[in-house]
Amino acid sequence: MSEAVAKKSINESMLDQLSYAQRQRLAYIDFCLLFKGAIYRQDLIQRFEVGLSAGSRDFTIYKQLAPQNLVYDHQQKRYFQTATFKPLFKHDAKRTLVKLANDISDGFDAIGDVHFPVEAPSSLNVPDIFIVASIVQATLKQQALQISYTSLSSGESRREIVPHSIVDNGLRWHVRGYDRKSESFRDFVLTRISRAKLTGKFDTAAEPEEQGDADHEWHRMIPLQLVPHPHNVAHNKAIEMDYGMSNGVLTIDVRAAMAGYLLRRWNVDCTEDGTLLGPEYQLWLRNRTSLMNTSNLAIAPGYKVR
């Protein structure tokens, strides 16, 4: 048995002897180090409402199990992720992304929480958990990230981006941020990123014009009025019930940067007169003029600039 395998076996044995609550707290430490790059002792104490001695004991145990994972900065009174960090727990990429989208960071998925009998459609693409972790860290720190990215049009290239949001468009995950190559805010598919590395120090933020506050397409909200398709639907009432329409209309406000994704996901006919035929087109965009001056609409079904 190799030394690494033996050490892993010992760690698993030690974890099994701990209570569920304590393993959860250790998983939370692991989660914060992986996705935030650092953690205060007070973060753990406040999150789980434990005493100072219990919190200190948790960090001591974590250091015994994974001494190479964290280093304590006495000046900042904060634990930081090391360059040799390797997660002590297994964090599922899909579940972690959902939790991050809903501002949940509890570490439960890493220790086997309760599974409910609810089935979801299978995902054909799963992002690399370490790529996700680097993007999350760069987003929280407002730092630039060096990535290797493969696009459909130009193949593989190296870029520097300043990410500000991770986006689920219903089919796959994107990261949105400022692209220093094109000098514009763009979307990058997570699974097409093969390498990601932070460029600056922990407390070094990117330029203001590169940060999320400057992304006007992201902050601009536009109203979409969705109605049953005028030609493909025989019984409008069914569609009205599906989407909770009021007086035959569903009005939603979406980010301009996200409009194309939503329209594509729900197969919303964006032609002027609802001319797309087929059972998949059950909705029609009644106020297509709301999309004026909005980019990323090439994927909106039937939308063409006049």
Domain ranges for the chain, please list them: 3-92+104-110, 129-217, 220-291
CB 139 within 8 A of CB 164: yes
Find the mean pLDDT for residues 126-149: 92
- pLDDT bracket for residue 306 (50, 70, 90): low
Percent pLDDT > 90 in the chain is: 70
> Is pLDDT above 90 for 202?
no
Residue 82, both tokens: 């090391």
AA identity, residue 303:
Y
Residue 184, both tokens: 């514009």
Find the mean pLDDT for residues 155-168: 93
What pLDDT sits at residue 165?
Answer: 92
Query: What is the Cβ-side half-sphere exposure of residue 279, based on CA atoms within 13 angstroms?
Result: 0
What pLDDT sits at residue 107?
Answer: 61
Query: What is the Cβ-side half-sphere exposure of residue 272, based on CA atoms within 13 angstroms?
Result: 3
AA identity, residue 36:
K
Exposed e or buried b per residue across 124-162, where buried means at least 16 C-beta atoms within 10 angstroms of its C-beta? eeebebbbbbbbbbbbebbbbbbbebeeeeeeeeebbbb
Q: Which CATH class is domain 129-217?
A: mainly beta
What pLDDT sits at residue 115?
Answer: 42
Phi, psi for residue 285 in degrees, rounded to 5: -85, 110
Query: What is the Cβ-side half-sphere exposure of residue 188, based on CA atoms within 13 angstroms?
Result: 35
What pLDDT sits at residue 113?
Answer: 47
AA identity, residue 305:
V
Q: Which CATH number describes the domain made up of 3-92+104-110?
A: 1.10.10
Top-confidence residue, 239 or 140: 239
Top-confidence residue, 300 or 112: 300
Strand partners, 140: none
Phi, psi for residue 284 in degrees, rounded to 5: -130, 140
Find the mean pLDDT for residues 189-202: 89
> Is pLDDT above 50 for 119?
no
What pLDDT sits at residue 1?
Answer: 46
Distance of CA 213 to the CA centre of its chain: 18
Find the mean pLDDT for residues 248-266: 96
pTM over 0.95: no
Query: What's the whole-number average pLDDT of the chain?
Result: 88
Distance (Å, whole) CA 125 – CA 241? 32
Distance (Å, whole) CA 200 – CA 140? 13
- pLDDT bracket for residue 114 (50, 70, 90): very low
Q: Which of 235, 260, 255, 248 is nearest to 286 (CA)?
A: 248
Distance (Å, whole) CA 161 – CA 144? 5
> Is pLDDT above 60 for 118?
no
Find the mean pLDDT for residues 280-284: 97
Phi-psi group of 247: left, alpha or beta (phi > 0 → left; psi -120 to 50 → alpha; rest → beta): left
Cα dihedral: 21, 52, 45, 88 (round 10)? -60
Q: Which three-class secondary structure state does DSSP give residue 189?
A: strand
Top-confidence residue, 154 or 12: 154
What pLDDT sits at residue 108?
Answer: 61
What pLDDT sits at residue 100?
Answer: 73
